[in-house]
Structure 1
């Protein structure tokens, strides 16, 4: 077995990414404070051909040197938009028949391994603040809360790790 060189990875260009058929997933970042987490989410969204990222509330936007450190150029490939109010965004997406799923520990949440997305609908996945999580009003306006099963003592994951776990899982389910 031999490790592949960068020029052997068959990476697509930014223009090819823009034209590519996307995974029917939208990511919403609800008041994310860490610039490194924001950049990491961009990079993960690029890896799984995510349609768009919405940056809401206090979530910083590109161009930003700290976001760029972890995004490694993904802010150029992945479509993104800043929307100040997450609740307003969720309500607008619902009007466009987009299924809303908050990643949160909540009453009657659905474990990620038990969740099956509707193949005929786009799904918006909301990730919340590193300390406070997804705002309650956003949770209340969601169609479902998805919870990542965890068995250790902490019962929480970093938002960038949660994003990687959830997007990989849903990417495989859609494909």
Structure 2
């Protein structure tokens, strides 16, 4: 099974960025300075790469080599652009079915969603550049390898994807308890993108204002909510049921 590749050294990380590698995150030693560091910092900002400034002890644990104050995780997959993802969906015989993840940070939930999405024939998964769960060894393992079989796209902000999909007449459905409508009452046979939020806050209010539909699952027990990966599975299989 492929896992996240870890590289270290300022020049090595710069070369990885310049070669177009999909870098998940860069860890930089606090207080690092110098000409080469400034060059690295410029590349990081231009590529909009997630950065954490950490004590040297953290870097020593991440790498046993001469890390020079910089360690980076490279994703085990290559991401697809939003434009190509949507264009490819227009050429397919299948009605588009997308998943957008708004602020989901748990890698195991992410992996479980990827696995279910692949089983349901989802067109692609869209996540946000920053603040989203990374695709690392835990994600790969939980997805049972499905991460290698489904297109995944990163955008600057989920709202960018919402507006772009709407221009292609894809209807956006937010999974939220802030509605009286249940998922079973919606027409999911049309081109659909389902938006799932994080465990604590759900789909953000700014996104809720932009969607076409809000929907929830009926809750008959005393617990107020489902695990996000389970809820996503229920939404997806209702779409599959309607489309069969």
TM-score past 0.5 threshold: yes
Alignment of 1:1-175 (within 5 A): 22=94, 24-56=96-128, 57-62=130-135, 64-107=136-179, 109-117=180-188, 119=189, 121-175=190-244
Q: Distance in 2 between matches of 1:127 and 1:23?
A: 20
The 3-state SS of whatever aligns with 2:123 is: strand
Q: Which of the pair has the greater relative contact order for Cα pairs under 8 Å at 6+ separation?
A: 1
Instruction: Note the residue ranges of structure 1 that are not aligned, 5 or more in a row.
Output: 1-19
Instruction: Note the residue ranges of structure 2 that are not aligned, 5 or more in a row.
Output: 1-91
Change in 2 beyond 3 A, CA 1:38/1:78:
same
* Bigger mean CA deviation after superposition, 131-140 or 83-92: 83-92
Structure 1 stretches of 4+ with a deviation exceeding 6 A read: none
Partner of 1:5: none
Q: Distance in 2 between matches of 1:129 and 1:84?
A: 17
Q: TM-score, normalised by structure 1?
A: 0.81
- Give the total of aligned pairs: 152
**Structure number with larger C-alpha Rg:** 2
Q: Distance in 2 between matches of 1:22 and 1:112?
A: 21
The superposition leaves residues 33-76 of structure 1 with CA deviations (integer Å, 9 ceiling, x where unpaired) of: 100000001100111111000012411243x1110121111111
Q: State the Cα distance separating 1:23 from its structure 2 match.
A: 5.4
The superposition leaves residues 116-171 of structure 1 with CA deviations (integer Å, 9 ceiling, x where unpaired) of: 22x3x310000001100000010110000011011112221111000111101111
Q: TM-score, normalised by structure 2?
A: 0.59
